[in-house]
Chains A and B, each alone.
Chain A
Amino acid sequence: MTRLLFSLLILAWLACVLVPLAGLVSAFIGDGGTDDIVTEVSTTGILLRTLGWSAMIAAVSASIGWIPGRYMARARGGGCNRVLWILMVVPMCLPAYAIFYCWYQAVPPGSYLGNMAAENGMIPMLREGILLVSMTCWSWPIISLCVAACTSLRRDRVHELLTLDAAGPGRRLAVAIREDLPALLRGMLIVGMLMIANTVAFDLAQVQTMGFHLRALEAQAAPGWMILQSSLPLVVLLLVAIGLLVLVPLRRSPEDPVPAQPPRTWQAVVTWLVVILTIILPIILLGVRVLGRVQLDSFISLYGRSLGWTVLVSLVAAIVGGILSIAMLVRLLKAGRNWCGTVAVFGWLLMASIPGILLVVGIESAYNRPWIREWTYDSSVILLVGLVGRFGFIAVLVAWWIRMITPESILQVFRSDGVDSFGAMLESMRGRMLSTGLLSGVIIFVMSMGEVVVTAGISPPGGTAGVSLPASLLNAMHYQEPDVVISALWVLVVASILVACLMTLGLGRLMRRLPVMLVLLSGIMIVGCDSDPNQVRPIPIEHVFGSPGSGPGQFNYPRSLAMDGDNGWIYVVDKNARIQKFDLEGTHLLEWSMPQKENGKPTGLHVGSDGSVYVADTHYFRIIRYDPDGREISRFGSYGTDDGEFIYTTDLAVGPGGRLYVSEYGGNDRVQVFEPDGRYLFGFGSQGSESTQFNRPQSIGFSHDKDELYVADACNHRIVVTDPDGQVLRILCGIGREPGQLCYPYNVLVLPDGNLMVAEFGNNRIQKIDVSDGRSLGIWGGLGFEPGRLQYPWSLDGDGSTVAVLDSGNNRVALMESP
């Protein structure tokens, strides 16, 4: 198990540090730069401004967070103090820039305070004041945490001595400051680093910082070396700061701890006052603002998936970070410090310090390679690499700290017993290991939730709703949708309270199950539910013809096919608005063009018993009938929703007595029935998913033997069976990839045996199903380019002995024996 942990540590370092850094170097070498002018501005002033603001926020946070930190270190457990802990965690779980935005929106245009500021020319001051307040509200709990941690480790004998000496308040204060100074400085260092990295809030507040300057360089397509050169002072500063955090010693846990002094009443009052003013009151105001103007539904519809996905990815990154931290602790306990470890630590620190823009370049350069791209760069794994690479230093830091504060006596016992097995190690250090993993994981989770630059730069494509939560919030701010942002923040507040509750109540058992969960999660994220298309039999092709193009015998994304079984002809219509006629060998015989095509091209063809060709001229809301030589015979239909009118016609079938059944979608989503001369008879169906409704009826077929109509209800992923009068008899199949399930059935064909053959656009296959119950009787095709495979099959037709499948995405027609 120890070796496994060490292997994980090495693997993570290689994947998240060394490889991206190598990719960055490679990109630099190949970067020819730009010939365009790249406007550079003096960075000294910007750097000083960045540092000044960070220091100011850190100092103010320290002054506010000091007393609550001392109080929390000494307060006993119990309901009130547990609530305090929960509330203090909340700000850290929210994106800092969102907190600023909500504060700023509390003073909207036209408000009293806003008007007063405008009249006195004080808007910039107001805005920067809000920035200072909001960032302080976000970061003072970090100071408190640092102070509380160090205070609880102190030997409290010094306070016994002060009491014996009857020391006055001034002297007590001086001693307290001296005692807490290292913790305060440590906390300020952390807050300062976070402020330097968190420049989005400053952008919103119109305060130009180094982050903005680097983005300006990137916007001008500046070469990587120029970006690195500009950011070098910042990188060095961050490295120094992190180095200080690592190297400045922490106090070890006392060998003979004395009971902590109980907190003073005034400390409790101050603490609660701070919490009420900076956390509770803003939450209440947020809630009041949300009430009556809830845009939660807008947020959920636009960004719900983003929220879930961001939480999930951050959670996995946190779990990985937690395990890395445990592995690092074990490494430190067993082997102590050596040059390997130092190099590894430096690598993690470097990844944390370089600009996110460059990190993106390095990751892309390393992982966007054809031989590994599919399972790295094009999957969620790359997000994991980015986040762990960015925040892995936290795992290192926490492990280092835990190692530093472990009492020497415990370390000696650990070493002298010659503990080698992981089990024994776990037994002796279980608490510290779990603490290490939990603390690292939580911090990495919070940081990952708010990370924007790296995730925006490497996120794999998602569905139409796909973008990370922080980016979603930023976009909503840009789109001037304050109510959406505030509603979202309210959701995050509730979620962070839940997270904080879990933290304070204990997660020991969850931590013990981490390895299993990680394997489960990683497997799911990487593998997903991808079904191997090659488990589907290829089509047993007799003949195939067609290729991409606009010439005779070529296709430009063909979308419908119809067979004249009596004469052995095949008609195909494509996005050139051409109807081509072939024989069964694929010999091009004839072609003609649709009279109009600007609005769109036809998607339905049907050959009548007399050999005439019916065309569902989709975007012209009509049916046109041609003779086999392409001469127009008649046409009917016009745009509308009334009886006999169409929106988007999709297909036509001939029923009893020569009646014409026409399917359509686009709001009508129904089947209408006409006399052979085009006179309207009746219609059935409407848009929806109920049993008598349709959602894009893309194709219809009629069985004269069974006197049944079959409607390929594409977006409901089913076949609806009706009688000739439109009464629904049964519904076959439903959505899915399994046999007997359908995914976007675009065409249905009645086979000689009375069963149905369905072309499934969404599953890249054709499937024969039992007409009585939808049971699968055979599946062929599967995704692919080679003959026998399919890509987006739109249509098929048959003449009793042969089935012609329109392989639209591959621009060809495949002929097979009728199954």
Chain B
Amino acid sequence: MSPGFRVIQGGFSIRVVLGPVTHLVASLLLLTFIGCDDPRPGVVVYVSADQDIARPVLERFQQHSGIPVEVVYDTEATKTTGLANRLRNEADNPRADVFWSSEVFQPILLAREGILVPHASEVGAELPEQFREAEGRWWGFSPRARVIVYSTDRVNVQDAPQTWMDLTDQRWKGRVAMADPRFGTTRGHVGAMLAYWDGNFMPGYFGAYLEGLKENDTRMLTGGNAAVVDGVARGEFDVGMTDSDDVYRAIENGWNVDMILPRHDVQGGSRGSGTLLIPNAAGIVNGASNPVAASQLVDFLLSAEVENMLAESASRNLVLRQLDPEASEQLQVADPLDVDLGVVADRSPEAVDQVMRKLAEPSS
């Protein structure tokens, strides 16, 4: 009789391997390990920014202020909306003090729902008005750019698409990828396209643009922006719509990709039609149990110190201030897309609906 099935049969042959000493040691190890949760009250922050980026920032805050930080991170299985929905679920009895989102659109919606409350920040007042709310319920900082990733093996930089409209060029047929627009920054980006073109060019242009993408057999990927970069790197696609930090990580991994910061010009050269910047955003939760610490954390996130940290991190966030000229390779966009982020948040559902109706198809 094989050893495993003695278990099933019930004729359990007990081998004395773990004696009382082992039991005691195991208990003590568990005691030590679980042991003494720090009972000090700190600031509870829900973070949807990348854990390896956020953690040093929060540790620096903890070191500066001495305030313990307790964190709930996002997971790529649930994406940013997981934490935002968690805040909604907990609205009556909030657990978090601060919400740090890797993108701004969910905080905009949360602010409108009364889940984030006003906070006056002197540090935040230094940042461009486009990236903060007048009432101070959310504050944007350290943005990422929406970019076109291309394969350096198959595409010359001179031939790479320079505007989003270039993706409808027939030479990219079957070679364009984008992430599912129901999530994250892609959702915000399609909303920005719709809002900007409707307001600055002509209504209906977005729909026509989608038709062009459809004719080019643009693929929507379930794996998000990172999957777009992966697909371009592997040769499944030549170009893709993604975030700047995903491209930077891929380049660090030695993949043969690079990026263009494309404009949203339709007729060329108009100011304010440049690259879309999607900032991180932070706000204080309504009903936070530690508003003093919460305001300190938000101010810290908006500080020049954090902006520098994120600019020099693996995600290479862009800077909004003119900072230390000796800091290496800080990226700034001189002429970002001039669009009201609140309007973008409003129009994103409509934009997503249009994209899904035109481009969604079963993957396999």
Contacts and interface: CB of A to CB of B under 8 A. Distances in A.
Given A152-B8, A378-B95, A466-B70, A457 B82 contact: yes
Nearest to B3: A77
Interface string B294-317: 001000000010000000001000
Contact of B7 (A37, A435, A482, A524): A435
Given A123-B235, A462-B71, A41 B314 contact: no
B59 A464 contact: yes
A39 B222 contact: no
A377 B327 CA distance: 44
B292 interface: yes
Given A77-B1, A216-B183, A219-B182, A432 B362 contact: no
Contacts of A525: 34
A529 B37 contact: yes
Contacts of B34: 312, 521, 524-525, 528
Interface string B52-74: 10010011001100111111111
B5 A149 contact: yes
Given A378-B95, A463-B69, A508-B14, A480 B352 contact: no
B127 interface: no
Given A459-B72, A764-B40, A81 B2 contact: yes
A360 interface: yes
B82 A456 contact: yes
Residue in B1, B45, B63, B222 with the greatest tally of chain A CB atoms within 10 Å:
B222
Interface stretch (B23-31, B134-142, B264-272, B274-282): B23-31
B41 A471 contact: no
B222 A36 contact: no
A405 B7 CA distance: 12
A548 B227 contact: no
Interface string A191-213: 00000000010111011100010
A581 to B, nearest CB: 23
Contacts of B252: 480
Given A109-B255, A221-B85, A368 B92 contact: yes
A218 B81 contact: yes
A302 B52 contact: yes
A753 B312 CA distance: 51
Residue in A39, A74, A85, A430 with the greatest tally of chain B CB atoms within 10 Å:
A39
Interface stretch (A171-179, A498-506, A588-596): A498-506
B250 interface: yes
Nearest to A259: B1
A507 B10 contact: no
Interface in A778-816: 783, 791-792, 794, 809, 811
Contacts of B40: 762-764, 783
A435 B357 CA distance: 53
A215 B81 CA distance: 9
A370 interface: yes
A153 B5 CA distance: 10
Interface in B219-278: 221-224, 226-227, 229-231, 233-236, 246, 249-250, 252-253, 255-256
A265 interface: no
A487 to B, nearest CB: 14
A475 interface: yes
Contact of B353 (A37, A75, A149, A809): A37
A312 B363 contact: no
B70 A73 contact: no
A141 B15 CA distance: 24
Interface string B330-364: 00000000000000000001101100110010111
B42 to A, nearest CB: 9
Residue in A312, A378, A792, A811 with the greatest tally of chain B CB atoms within 10 Å:
A792
Interface stretch (A112-120, A278-286, A347-355): A112-120
Contact of A530 (B37, B62, B75, B93): B37
- Which range holds the interface residue count of chain B? 35 or more
A513 B86 CA distance: 38
Contacts of B7: 435, 438-439
B66 A792 contact: yes
B322 interface: no
B133 to A, nearest CB: 19
Residue in B8, B36, B72, B79 with the greatest tally of chain A CB atoms within 10 Å:
B8
A132 to B, nearest CB: 11
B253 A480 contact: yes
Nearest to B92: A368
B363 A377 contact: no
Contacts of A377: 93, 95
B93 A215 contact: no
A811 B78 CA distance: 39
Interface of A: 27, 36-39, 41, 45-46, 49, 72-77, 81-82, 85, 109-110, 114-115, 117-119, 123-124, 128, 145, 148-149, 152-153, 200, 202-204, 206-208, 212, 215-216, 218-221, 253, 260, 302, 308, 312, 360-361, 364-365, 368-370, 373, 377-378, 402, 405-406, 430-432, 434-435, 438-439, 452-453, 456-457, 459-468, 470-472, 474-475, 477-480, 482, 502, 504-510, 513, 517, 520-521, 524-525, 528-531, 548, 557, 575, 597-599, 696, 714-715, 744, 746, 761-764, 783, 791-792, 794, 809, 811
Given A73-B2, A479-B52, A528-B36, 4 more contacts: A118-B234, A370-B93, A405-B8, A470-B77
Interface of B: 1-5, 7-20, 23, 26-27, 30-31, 33-41, 44-45, 50-52, 55, 58-59, 62-63, 66-79, 81-82, 84-86, 88-90, 92-93, 95-96, 109, 122-123, 126, 180, 182-183, 187, 221-224, 226-227, 229-231, 233-236, 246, 249-250, 252-253, 255-256, 292-293, 296, 304, 314, 349-350, 352-353, 356-357, 360, 362-364
30 contacts: A46-B362, A203-B77, A203-B223, A207-B364, A208-B362, A220-B81, A302-B52, A378-B95, A406-B10, A430-B12, A435-B10, A435-B12, A453-B77, A457-B78, A459-B72, A463-B68, A471-B73, A475-B52, A480-B230, A480-B246, A502-B17, A502-B18, A506-B13, A506-B17, A507-B18, A524-B35, A528-B34, A529-B35, A597-B122, A762-B66
